[in-house]
Structure 1
Amino acid sequence: MKIFLLVLLTLFCFPAVAGKILLIESYHSEFPWDKEYIQGIKSRVNVDHELVTFQMDTKRIPQSQYADKADKAWEYYQNHKPDIVLLGDDNALKYMLPKLYNEPISIVFLGINSNPRELLAEYRGQAEITGILERPLLLKNIKSISQLMQMDQGKVLVLFDSGTTSHIANTFISTQFEGALRQLKVEITTYNVETISEWKSLVTDAKKDGYQAIVIGLYHTLVDEQLNNVDANNVLSWTNQHSPIPIFGFWDFSVGQGKTIGGIVLFGESQGSAAGAIAEQILQGKSASKIPIKTGEKGKAMYSRQEAARWNLTPPSSWSAID
């Protein structure tokens, strides 16, 4: 009886760590998208698991340093020996899968805009891999913007920076242009912009160039004349203050007072929650190879009261209002 009680006391006082999870972030933990998906991951994995992170910081460093960051992430992996590696966003998958594919681990990716099929086919090994895809919601956004602004036809400008995810996302939404023009009678022009000066020119000239609205994608890798990274918050604030036409967003972190009006947006928490749920299944014994790759939730409609009022727009009651 004493031995039984001692075993129970040990279990309650010293719970075993069920597993170790390493999250390799393409970006950095202060980036709103990363903050949200980390919160989502933590909401779905058991608190007994150990979660450690490595930040590749590819929003703020030049591309020439990506490979070096990947080498450091690989060293971090070797030092921690996790059971599961979560790869957050495209750069983490692109640079880390070639290093991890033959390790005896499970890999769960999230926030992936690219089609990972070729990469997964090229790097087949011991690692069991699954994950969550992310897809910008161009057609839903353009349809909502057209209805909100009562545009029977018109032109919309879509702006992205020149980062890896932006190029991939831009390529994906380009496949939807014909549908937007055919279904909605809306002409769409997209740019991948490298410098803040080019970004400012496109914004200030938008109305003169015949556009009725701007949709902001990602804006975090823009550089100034000295090739220094421009603070993303400053980019969005400047765009808000100087755009001659209403601005909307693809991601929820771009919505709010002093930012964009809103839209049908993607949000990081849903990606993290889905990836965390998969990680928990794997740590409970399910094989990652038995869990299919899925596309994340289809976004949510949200808007800023202040920004909508500023442009005399009234979003439908089905949209969630903030600030």
Structure 2
Amino acid sequence: MRSGFSMGWLLSFQLAAADVLVIESYRSQFEWDKSYLFGIHEELNPSIELATFEMDTKRIPMNQFDDAAEAAWHAYRQHQPKVVVLGDDNALRLMLPKLYDQPISIVFLGINDNPRHLLSEFSGQAKVTGILERPLFVRNLSEISRVLGRTDLRIKVMFDSGVTSKIAGEYIVTQFEQIKAGLGIDVSVHNIATFREWQAQVNQAQSQGVDAIFVGLYHTIIDDQGHNVAASTIMKWTNQHASVPLFGFWDYAVGKGKTAGGVVLFGESQGRTVAQLVNRILNGEDAGLIPIKIGTQGRAIYSRSEMTRWQLKPPLQWQALE
């Protein structure tokens, strides 16, 4: 018998046929998903029928991931799309084994992991292309040194303990190891499971000699009872209790009451690029011949109120928010 979550999933989509089915790792109310879905809708040919399905893997426990994948598979069979868009790592990891031998095109976005092994293991009828997502860490180090007016910095990078966060954290460590010689910068990356540990990391920053905190992903944090803590609660608490400036890697983390700024990734840009690929595929282009690319369209943005709070002056090229 399926769990209550699965029954909710099975009732959450319409059964009409669709040209394109977007299977979200997370949910449409999540700011990243909301942003890339907006980009898809803006760029997609208006004649194309689009459906979405939410796996909600930021909030459900990992032991329900297989149920979510099964429900997404059921949605695929009901919609019978020509193209499936897989949003983020969990959707690709859970759904490619189910979809790889279907007569469809698959376009992925927001993938932090290296998909090469997965794509070689599950190779069949489906034609696959997509966009990789990489936090713009090296660019941020350079820009934050300018903002803080120093190069001898100690930076703390904080992520939750979700699958995507662990992959992103490993990528940042690898990037830093390649460039750290002679920089005089110290970087520590933390994957954090509980709100209590998150709070401790923030509270200890100043006494540890940390000059700035980068807030990565913070959406799978749990409380002492094992319940998911709302992302807005985590960001609000972090902003109110931080003793050093906060910066971000994603656009939704920057703003009044959030982080002060950063060279950030935008879900909208990945959504627009995916929609352009889908348009090409539905016009007859072979998805298997479209190269996988890395999304590099980062933008330097800052919050006026947060920069003022920390008495920092952003570079002139940065785009201002409230």
What residue in structure 1 maps to residue 137 of structure 2?
Answer: 138
**Separation in 1 of the partners of 2:156 and 2:174?**
16
From the superposition, tell whether residues 211 and 180 of structure 1 become closer, same or farther in structure 2 (CA, over 3 Å). Answer: farther
**Separation in 1 of the partners of 2:18 and 2:273?**
18
What residue in structure 2 maps to residue 197 of structure 1?
Answer: 196
- What is the RMSD of the two structures over their aligned residues, measured on CA atoms? 1.3
Runs of 4+ aligned residues of structure 1 deviating over 4 Å after TM superposition are none
What residue in structure 1 maps to residue 166 of structure 2?
Answer: 167
Summarize deviations over 1:20-39 as a string: whole Å, max 9, x none: 10000000000010011001
Q: Whose Rg is larger?
A: 1
What residue in structure 2 maps to residue 280 of structure 1?
Answer: 279
**Separation in 2 of the partners of 1:272 and 1:309?**
32
Residue 150 of structure 1 deviates from its aligned partner by 1.2
What residue in structure 2 maps to residue 92 of structure 1?
Answer: 91
Q: How does 1:210-289 map to 2 (within 5 A)?
A: 210-289=209-288
**Separation in 2 of the partners of 1:152 and 1:113?**
28
2:131 maps to amino acid = I
1:256 maps to amino acid = G
If the length of structure 1 is used for normalisation, what is the TM-score? 0.93
Summarize deviations over 1:289-320 as a string: whole Å, max 9, x none: 11110011331000000000111111011000
**Separation in 2 of the partners of 1:142 and 1:196?**
26
2:274 maps to amino acid = A
Summarize deviations over 1:56-76 as a string: whole Å, max 9, x none: 001111111111100000011
**Separation in 2 of the partners of 1:82 and 1:39?**
20
**Separation in 1 of the partners of 2:278 and 2:167?**
26
**What is the SS of the residue equivalent to 1:286?**
coil
**In the alignment, is the contact (CA less than 8 A) between 1:262 and 1:301 conserved in 2?**
yes
**In the alignment, is the contact (CA less than 8 A) between 1:143 and 1:184 conserved in 2?**
no
Identity of aligned residues (%): 52
Summarize deviations over 1:188-213 as a string: whole Å, max 9, x none: 00000000000000001101011000
Q: How does 1:93-172 map to 2 (within 5 A)?
A: 93-172=92-171
**In the alignment, is the contact (CA less than 8 A) between 1:194 and 1:222 conserved in 2?**
yes
If the length of structure 2 is used for normalisation, what is the TM-score? 0.93
Is there any run of 5+ residues in structure 1 with no aligned partner, and where?
1-17
From the superposition, tell whether residues 183 and 85 of structure 1 become closer, same or farther in structure 2 (CA, over 3 Å). Answer: farther
**In the alignment, is the contact (CA less than 8 A) between 2:102 and 2:126 conserved in 1?**
yes
**Separation in 1 of the partners of 2:274 and 2:28?**
17
**In the alignment, is the contact (CA less than 8 A) between 2:132 and 2:294 conserved in 1?**
yes
What residue in structure 1 maps to residue 34 of structure 2?
Answer: 35
**In the alignment, is the contact (CA less than 8 A) between 1:27 and 1:58 conserved in 2?**
yes
Is there any run of 5+ residues in structure 2 with no aligned partner, and where?
1-16
Aligned length: 307
**In the alignment, is the contact (CA less than 8 A) between 1:180 and 1:187 conserved in 2?**
no
